[in-house]
């Protein structure tokens, strides 16, 4: 198909497709003349994925490029997929040594192993710093209950990873990690709404 | 204290404090001369909260202003706090009618009531659109299990709201909604790491 049909099929403007082609996010089409190229179904699917990663997942062009590179050239082991997914997703803010120590002790208490060097440990510590700085203290008991719920979420995430093809697996892990976040946060807000109405009464 | 000490105490540069004063995020100090003002502890706490909302929560100046307005002038009912918190937090992306219908049916099946007009319903629908567009389909059974875990999270959120002072409550609800998000997402990643190692084996 020509770029105009590709644009229509994928729901991405022609100018944006040309930009993605220049940035290397989308592989070039097959040249049919000096000025025209032909595109196929893989181009449609690639553009749909980019649209979702940027539009729903909120990824930058640079992070999207890293995600697509991981999908095109998947790491060898299933477990390494996750490191790739986490490393391309989101910045790791700075955390205090106190919060890092606390985060390390907490995950040990929760029985989560092998996470000493995970970027998410620093993300957890930075979040705890922020919560404390806002004057909202969470004791270890409450944190453990949040951790139990998020461990259930993670079990579902990992159980869903397809094991047939490495490319499918990395697509699931990377896209799933990014795209499930807004879903989970929306579910949390809806459930808060329900729980709040039960505690404080329904609005008039 | 003078602005220089306020800056040191709150960990916010003097130029940034002056910007916040101009934007009305921080109330003016008490003038002690034509060019100097005195600031108090409430200024320190306000600046710490702003630093956290912007730095950890990732809020824009405009959203931060809306959050602070809600804290300064809390809504009357406990339940309305949540509407305020959700309305100032994050944009609501567009969702397809199909996904909106599905989201409405899902929350009904999950037993969550009073959420028909909640912005989070559209956020859930948009997330489902994105997940489908990326070729990752989640069946209703798996979604229900995710929803169960997020309902546990929401119960903890709502149970933690202090009921003594409306200002404290709104501070907790608004800041908690924003600041707990990075904590929960970091917990999810750490638990994924642990679950992935159990499913796929520990990395070499």
Q: What is the pLDDT of residues B114-168, one digit of tens each?
A: 888 788 899 899 889 888 877 787 899 999 999 999 999 999 988 888 777 766 7
Cβ contact (<8 Å) for B195 and A157? yes
pTM flag (> 0.90): no
The answer to whether residue A37 scores a pLDDT higher than 80 is yes
Cβ contact (<8 Å) for B177 and A192? yes
Q: Can you read off the two tokens belonging to residue A42?
A: 């893989």
Q: For residue A77, list chain B residues with Cβ-Cβ distance below 8 A.
A: 200-201, 203
Cβ contact (<8 Å) for B189 and A120? yes
Given B86, B190, B200, which is nearest A118 (Cβ)?
Answer: B190
**Cα distances (angstroms) measured from residue B183 to each of A97, B100, B189:** 17, 28, 10
Q: For residue A149, list chain B residues with Cβ-Cβ distance below 8 A.
A: 149-150, 152-153, 156
The answer to whether residue A88 scores a pLDDT higher than 70 is no
* Distance in angstroms (rounded) separating the CA atoms of residues B44 and B11: 9
Note whether ipTM > 0.90 here: no
Residues A130, B11: contact at Cβ < 8 Å? no
Given A114, A124, A180, which is nearest B187 (Cβ)?
Answer: A124
| Neighbour-count burial of B19, counting CB atoms closer than 10 A to its CB (0-12 exposed, 13-18 middle, 19+ buried) | middle
Task: Give percent above pLDDT 70 in chain A.
Answer: 92
Cβ contact (<8 Å) for A194 and B48? no
Given A82, A175, A201, which is nearest B134 (Cβ)?
Answer: A175
Given A83, A136, A203, which is nearest B172 (Cβ)?
Answer: A136
Q: Which one of B42, B150, B199 would you mutate to disrupt binding with A, by most A Cβ within 10 Å of its Cβ?
A: B150
C-alpha torsion sign, points A96, A63, B181, B11: positive
C-alpha torsion sign, points B37, B43, B49, B51: positive
Cβ contact (<8 Å) for B195 and A151? yes
Q: Pick the closest to residue A151 from B124, B152, B179 (CA basis).
A: B152
Q: What is the helix, strand, coil percentage profile of chain B, to 5?
A: 70, 0, 30
Q: What is the pLDDT of residues B81-100, one digit of tens each?
A: 777 677 766 667 788 999 99
Given A134, A142, A201, which is nearest B160 (Cβ)?
Answer: A142
Q: Can you read off the two tokens belonging to residue A90?
A: 């989101």
CB atoms within 10 A of CB B112: 22
Q: Pick the closest to residue A15 from A70, B85, A23, A121 (CA basis).
A: A23
In the block, tokens 């993605």 appear at A20
Cα atoms in the Cβ-side hemisphere of radius 13 Å centred on A123: 22
Cβ contact (<8 Å) for A52 and B111? no
The answer to whether residue B203 scores a pLDDT higher than 60 is no
The answer to whether residue B110 scores a pLDDT higher than 70 is yes
Given B115, B123, B203, which is nearest A182 (Cβ)?
Answer: B123
Q: How far is A35 from chain B (nearest CA, A)?
A: 30
* Distance in angstroms (rounded) separating the CA atoms of residues B182 and A146: 12
Cβ contact (<8 Å) for A86 and B189? yes
Cβ contact (<8 Å) for B82 and A56? no
Longest dimension (CA), chain B: 69
Q: What is the pLDDT of residues B161-190, one digit of tens each?
A: 877 776 677 777 777 777 898 899 999 999
Q: For residue B186, list chain A residues with Cβ-Cβ distance below 8 A.
A: 120-121, 123-124, 127
Task: Give percent above pLDDT 90 in chain B.
Answer: 43
Q: For residue A175, list chain B residues with Cβ-Cβ distance below 8 A.
A: 134, 136
């Amino acid at each position: 198909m020509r770029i105009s049909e590709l644009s229509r099929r994928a729901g991405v403007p022609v100018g944006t497709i040309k930009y993605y082609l220049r940035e290397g996010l989308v592989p070039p089409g097959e040249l049919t003349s000096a000025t025209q190229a032909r595109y196929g179904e893989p181009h449609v699917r690639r553009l749909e994925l980019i649209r979702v990663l940027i539009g729903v997942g909120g990824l930058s062009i640079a992070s999207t490029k890293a995600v697509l590179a991981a999908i095109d050239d998947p790491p060898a082991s299933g477990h390494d997929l996750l490191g790739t997914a986490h490393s391309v997703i989101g910045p790791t803010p700075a955390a205090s040594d106190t919060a890092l120590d606390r985060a390390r002790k907490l995950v040990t208490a929760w029985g989560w192993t092998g996470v000493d060097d995970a970027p998410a440990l620093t993300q957890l510590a930075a979040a705890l710093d922020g919560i404390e700085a806002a004057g909202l203290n969470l004791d270890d008991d409450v944190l453990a209950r949040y951790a139990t719920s998020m461990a259930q979420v993670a079990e579902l995430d990992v159980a869903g990873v397809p094991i047939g093809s490495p490319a499918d697996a990395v697509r699931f892990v990377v896209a799933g990690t990014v795209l499930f976040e807004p879903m989970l946060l929306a579910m949390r807000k809806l459930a808060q709404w329900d729980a709040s109405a039960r505690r404080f009464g329904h609005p008039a």
